[in-house]
Structures are given as structure tokens and as C-alpha cells.
Structure 1
Amino acid sequence: MTTIDRPAGRRAPDTERAARRPPRRRRDLALFWFVLPGTAVLLLFHYVPLLGNVIAFQDYQPFIGIADSRWVGLDNFDIIFNGDDAFLRALANTLQLTLIQVVFVFPVPIALALLLNSVVSERVKRVVQNILYLPHFLSWVVVVAIFQQMLGNSGLLNVFLQARDMGTWNIIGNPDLFMALLTSQVIWKDAGWGMILFLAALSRVDSELYEAAAADGAGRWRQTWHVTLPALRGLIVLLLILRLGDALSVGFEQIILQQTAIGIEDSDVLDTYVYNNGLVAGQWGASAAVGLVKGVVGIALVLGANKLAHLMGEEGIYQKR
């Protein structure tokens, strides 16, 4: 084998390029500056306020501050351990609404993504996709106002029924229909946005898998079951874990805007309970205790669901070490 002798003092091309390349820390400095504002906002408005949970163990009074408020230990947790009626009612409503939304709301974006992915025309697909995820950008104030204009006592539906002497249908102010109303609002507002995530996952599925399944005689449904759904399984598990972590938070703004029409007993959830008893009634310590327990339970649900995902062979929100 022959070798090429380089003149003395000459560096190899790769070595020269490596020497000219700036250090990684200096090269990525611009990226660090871009990340810094978001990191600062996250620390300032999400992590620093966590220190305020100390008032859950105090007889906190805003006019004297945290430092001078009297320590009461676990007294504020009595409403949880001893079963305060208002707290138990809010907890029951929260769990019921969470179960309904996991069963009826979570699968809707998956179904929409599967249906839209089967559309052949890309133009029709884009138009339908834009229409479906547009409501996500509306605030809950606007969404609730739209539903009131459509389904309220003097809304379009009742105006239509009255014009034909068919009576009226009380939907907005009916406690028996409140859970269904909340669920339909969440589906209308956020299902299209969640659909985008599953469409992105479907776009990464190799088309040769469908061709191979079709060559083996698999129809549309069998292709969906054996090719499409396995491709979405990891994303479904990840989003379900995150949803369980947020299980005890079921839409504060959405509910508080409609609580007057329904009544507190039938619409109170943990988030509105904390607001009504903390900011409104001034029971700061007890409300902070409820919020603290809610956060701890959320963390436990995330870790437990993630461990279960590892046992099922999925990565979850973080990989198993």
C-alpha cells in the first residue's frame, strides 16, 4: 500500500476545519439567548410561585404576609381528611367530568385524524383541517358566548322552536345537561387542534406498509388496525399520560363563566372550589391545601401512568433508564 507524505507543518483538511470551527459553547450562544426569555418566564410564573404553597401550612393573612402569618401545621388539610361537604362535592364533580372527558373527548382527535387521513384530495384535507382547528384560537369567553347565543333560553334554537309553537328547550341552565354541555364545548374547541398531532404522526407512516398489507389481502379496516393504530400507539400513550397528570384540572375558565347559570352545587370542581373559597371567601390556607394536594396527586398519576407505559413497552414521557 502506498501512502502520501504530507509536507512538514501541513495539517490534514479535517484537522484544519476542526481548528477553524468555533467552540460549541460559543457557536450555540445565539440559541441560548433565544431560549433565555422563555426560560425566564417559566421560572418566574411557574416555578417561583410554587414557593407560595407554604401558606397551606399557615393561617395566612394577605395584609401581614407569609413571613408573619401563624403556622398551623396540617389544620388546613382537615377539609380533605375529614370530608368537608363542599370539597367532596367538588371532588366528585371533578372526577365525573374527568372520566367523561377521557372516555368521550380523548378519542375524538384520533377519529378525526383517521377520517381526514383517508381523504384522497389534499385540497379538501387542508380546508377541513383549517375549519376544524380554527375554534382552538378562540378564548373560552367567546366559546361560551357562542353556545349561549345558540342554546340559551333566548338563543337561536329556542327562537326556532317558539316560532313553530314547539316550546323551549333549556340547555344552558339545566344542571342535568351541564356535563354534556361542557364536553361538547371542549370537543368543538380543542378536538381539531389535537387532531394535528395525530395527522403529523400519520404522515410519518411508511406507505409501503399499507401496500404490503393490501398485497396480503387486508382491507381498509384491517390496515387501520394493524398499521395505522400501532403507528399512533406511542403518541396516544404519551398524551394519555399527560392528560392523567392534568386529570384534576378540568377547565376553570370554562366552568366559572357558566357557574352562575347552573349553580355552585352542580358545577363546582376543585379549581373553582379553590377560587371561591380562596380569593372570594378569604380561606387562603385551606384553598392552598386543596391546590397542593391536587398537584401532588397529579404528579403521582403521571409517574404511575409512565411506569405502566414502561411495563407495556412504551417510552412514555421519559425513557426508562
Structure 2
Amino acid sequence: MHAKTTRRRPTSHPRTAAALAAASLSTVLLLVSCTPEPTSVSLPAPESFAEGLDAPWSIAFHDDVALVSERDSARVLEIAESGETREVAVIDGVAPGGEGGLLGLAVHDGELFTYFTAQNGNRVERREIRGEAGDLSLGEPTTVIDRIPSAGNHNGGRIAFGPDGMLYVTTGDAGDRDSAQDLDALAGKILRLTPEGDVPADNPFEGSPVYSFGHRNPQGIAWDADGAMYASEFGQDTWDELNVIDAGGNYGWPEVEGIAGDPDYIDPVQQWSPDDASPSGIAVTGSDIVIANLRGERLRTVPLDDLTASTEQYVGEFGRLRDVVIGAGGTFWFLTNNTDGRGNPSDGDDRIIRLGLD
């Protein structure tokens, strides 16, 4: 195992433009859930913005252009202002199966980063984004990290750039429970890398990409305006989790699931029954964490000033929800996931639902 160094708390970062733009939208979301018949606030109706997607998994923005991954087709789609879709590329080497396939997307400095399941494990690649809106294409791939253990389930797959400019990658335990506690294994972790795939010198374990460990299947990561990092995680049969992520932190799997009160592990700040949750993508507004839930078929809002509280929106209205992001101008997008083999698709599924401000 790598020798453990001192854990580092997240450092403070300036309030991001996305968080500022979304602060008032967070208020709207709370009003949706708490005020059945508002009289002083005009609430916009959710808009079915793009339809006919095939097992979509992730949304990322290149400037103001939304890019969406499809898990099984391995397609990256560009979403036009009209809601029409256009195929940008089919990612070579994707080997879909079970929960594996083309999963997370992230955009950084004009490049698209993709997390996907290949024949020899999960991997992250980066490609230059070329062209203009309506005519985007991708350059040749460069591997960022590969040979992350894969399986029919528990593949993790969310990738995002933190306020420190580093790439964070969630990995599942790929069915090997004990690997989550093994610092020499890439499974059951949140990894931290430079955009080129190098190990940052200030990572908590010398020479290792591991940032935190003891995870079963983390599915969402996001940061607040002060740089604190949050992650959603699928439990097994008892508790799904929302965690605050510390550098070098051990989150307990498979020794514990949910809140255990064991000083050897970091407890989640909230836990939910999988029937009500299966939390996937998350976004942070100016005042709240918003979580897309698959089996629970709802958006859950957790206020940053009370991480033990939550409200729910759209319960059962749109089916399974895979991802949630903040778009240009403070618009709020969430991605349904009813065509992945576990949902009950309705006409138009899968789709992007968009909520904006009047």
C-alpha cells in the first residue's frame, strides 16, 4: 500500500459564476416543493426540451452547447437550441454491457473527456472539440487513465473538474468489495488527476491517483462555492449516501454502509433507503445540493446550510433521473434514464427536462 500522508481539507475558492447564476433558481426549486399554490412567484413549467435519447448518462457543456453521452450506442450528441439532436461522434472501443458503456462526460480547455467501459476495463480519454455549434466534431483520443476495474455493475463513471482545475473520477468496486479498502486498487475510489493524467504532487497518498476510498459505487460529484466537495453513492440494500469528501478519507465500504458512528470511517451527512433514492448525478447551486435519483424517481434538494435536511420535487413524474446540471443563464437541466433496461419508458423517452426562470 502507499504510505498515507496528512489529510488535506478542501481549500476555499471564489464563488463560481454557475453558482451565482443558479442561486435564485434554487429558491424556485424550494418553492415548487413547499408552496403548492404560490401567489407571488411565477413558476415556470418543466419543459421537455430534447426527446428520443437512448439510455443517456451524462450532460456536459462546451461553452453554451450541451453534449450528452448515450451509454449503449457510445454516441456523443450535440443538443441544439431547438432541442434537436446531432451526432458528434461514436466513441471507439466502448464495450457496453450491464451498467457499463459510455458514461461520464466533462469539458475542460476545449477538450471533451469521456469515461467508458472498454474490453480491458474502464478508462478516461480526452479529445479536442473542433468546429462551431451545429457542426462540432472530435479529434483523436489521448488516454488519461485506463485499466480501472469494470464489471456488469458498479462501474462508477462520473467525471468532473474541480475548482482546483484537477480531474476527479468516480470508480465503483466492480463487484470486488474488498478492493474499495485497498489503496493499491483503482476500484471503489474517487481519483484525482491532472488533465493530462498525471498524479498531482499534493494528492493525499504519495504517487497515487486515489483521493478518497471505501466507496461502493459513487455516481455524482460537485463542489460548492467555498470548494467543499460532495458525492452521491449507491449503497447495497440498506442505505444510499450523500458524503462530504475529504482528501484521504475512508468512507467505509464494505465494512459499513450508511451512518455507522465508527471513528475509523467518515459517515455520510444523509442516508436514504434505495427505494427512495439511488442517487446519481448532482449539482450545487448557490445554496443547495440537487440530486437526481434513479429508483426513487425524484429530484432531491439538500440545503447547504443544513446538510441533514432535504425536500423532494417531481416524485414519479418523469421516471428515473440520471443526471442534473446547471446550464447557461441559470437554466436547470435534468436527464431521464427510462430506456436503460430498468425503467418504464413513456412516449418521448429518454429526454432532457429543462427548468428556467421567467
Q: TM-score, normalised by structure 2?
A: 0.22
From the two aligned structures, give the one with the greater helix fraction.
1
Q: TM-score, normalised by structure 1?
A: 0.23
From the two aligned structures, give the one with the greater strand fraction.
2
Structure 1 or 2, whichever has the larger Rg, is 1
Structure of greater relative contact order (alpha carbons < 8 Å, 6+ residues apart): 1
